[in-house]
């Protein structure tokens, strides 16, 4: 659920919703993926076994599979739960891209909205229908404890959150990554429904992809097989994403709103969530998931990281 390492040359540590980021000297970042689970911008009281390993390994392989089209921050993954890379100044927007009317977009659509972040959503759509073209619906990066908020490109430029020149780069990278992600998903019999990308600038001034990509926490996938038939019949799509956790929380009266209490997750339910994440990994990656040794997970991480840092 958490780490409290003290590395040689450590300058700072930032504890996010599910990751802990250690800044070391020489602009090196150590990002530890914990087993914490976040939904509706709230961290759940219990962790999900192997979730951090799953997300870190998917993100690593997806970074490697997109490096030819977009540069990224990653240098190495010396431990199943750890990524090491270049420190960047993050852009204060998340580049959300949606190919289908699902999740947050579908909830807004049902509420009568036809414009999302300045992008039109055509009349007559059913939930999980494809958009004519993918739409980019950015969100502001929230400070700790605050919710991310939808924002339009016009508003981003007007407020000077990102310059037009930089935003054009982010937009082009987002479209290229989504196209590559769509192609990779199709090879696994999946549809990449929507996802988010985060970007930063290195001290040399290069804009690079940061954080995780194409994981079930940052993305939504449908199964290709039976998609059209389920849409035609008005059935719920079978999907690979964290949405099943959100739906469970909604059914139990929680959407992260003020005054709402996080429902109790039993150990049995936690185990089903862990099994579901393993299914997500195997479906997305097309290979069996190998559980790392968790007998002394903090000792393992520290040992692997120390050996790597001593080698560079």
Separation CA 212–CA 56 (nearest Å):
7
Evaluate if residue 76 carries a pLDDT over 60: yes
Evaluate if residue 221 carries a pLDDT over 80: yes
In the beta sheet, which residues pair with residue 223?
190
Tens digits of residue pLDDT in 184-202: 999 999 999 999 999 999 9
The predicted pLDDT at position 51 comes to 94
Residue written as tokens 């990281």? 305
Tens digits of residue pLDDT in 5-16: 999 889 999 998
Evaluate if residue 112 carries a pLDDT over 60: yes
Cα dihedral 215, 77, 141, 258, rounded to 10, equals: 70
DSSP helix/strand/coil, 276: helix
All structural domains of the chain with their residue ranges: 92-244
The predicted pLDDT at position 247 comes to 87
The mean pLDDT value of the chain amounts to 93
The predicted pLDDT at position 312 comes to 86
Tokens at residue 207, please? 């804009």
Are 210 and 198 a contacting pair, CB within 8 Å? yes
As a CATH number, domain 92-244 is 3.30.470.20
Are 39 and 242 a contacting pair, CB within 8 Å? yes
Would you tell me the crossing angle of helices 164-187 and 51-66 to the nearest 10 degrees?
110
pTM listed for this prediction: 0.88
% residues pLDDT > 70 (the chain): 98
Nearest-CA neighbor of 97 among 149, 151, 134? 134
The predicted pLDDT at position 142 comes to 63
Evaluate if residue 96 carries a pLDDT over 60: yes
**β-pairing verdict for 190-201 and 82-86:** unpaired
**Cα distance from N-terminal residue to C-terminal residue, the chain:** 28
Residue 146 banded pLDDT, cuts 50, 70, 90: low
Are 76 and 111 a contacting pair, CB within 8 Å? no
The predicted pLDDT at position 254 comes to 92
């Amino acid at each position: 659920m958490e780490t409290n390492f003290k590395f040689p040359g450590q300058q700072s540590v930032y504890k996010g919703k599910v990751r802990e980021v250690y800044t070391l000297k020489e602009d090196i970042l150590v990002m530890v993926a914990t087993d914490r689970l976040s939904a509706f911008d709230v961290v759940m009281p219990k962790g999900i076994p192997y979730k951090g390993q799953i997300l870190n390994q998917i993100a690593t392989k997806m970074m490697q599979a997109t490096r030819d089209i977009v540069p990224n921050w990653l240098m190495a993954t010396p431990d199943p739960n750890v990524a090491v890379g270049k420190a960047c100044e993050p852009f204060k927007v998340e580049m959300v891209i949606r190919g289908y009317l699902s999740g947050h977009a579908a909830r807004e659509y049902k509420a009568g909205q036809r414009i999302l972040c300045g992008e039109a959503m055509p009349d007559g759509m059913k939930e999980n229908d494809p958009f004519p073209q993918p739409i980019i619906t950015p969100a502001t990066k929230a400070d700790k404890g605050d919710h991310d908020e939808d924002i339009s490109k016009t508003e981003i430029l007007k407020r000077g959150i990102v310059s037009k020149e930089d935003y054009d780069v982010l937009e082009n990278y987002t479209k290229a990554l989504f196209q590559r992600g769509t192609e990779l998903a199709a090879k696994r019999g999946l549809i990449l429904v929507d996802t988010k990308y985060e970007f930063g600038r290195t001290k040399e001034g290069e804009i690079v992809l940061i954080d995780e990509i194409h994981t079930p926490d940052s993305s939504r996938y449908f199964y290709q097989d039976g998609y059209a038939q389920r849409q035609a019949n008005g059935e719920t799509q079978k999907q690979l994403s964290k949405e099943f956790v959100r739906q469970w929380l909604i059914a139990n009266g929680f959407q992260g709103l003020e005054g709402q209490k996080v429902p109790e997750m039993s150990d049995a339910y936690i185990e089903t969530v862990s099994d579901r994440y393993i299914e997500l990994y195997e479906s997305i990656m097309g290979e069996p998931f190998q559980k790392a040794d968790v007998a002394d997970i903090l000792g393992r991480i520290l040992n692997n990281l120390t050996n790597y840092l001593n080698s560079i």
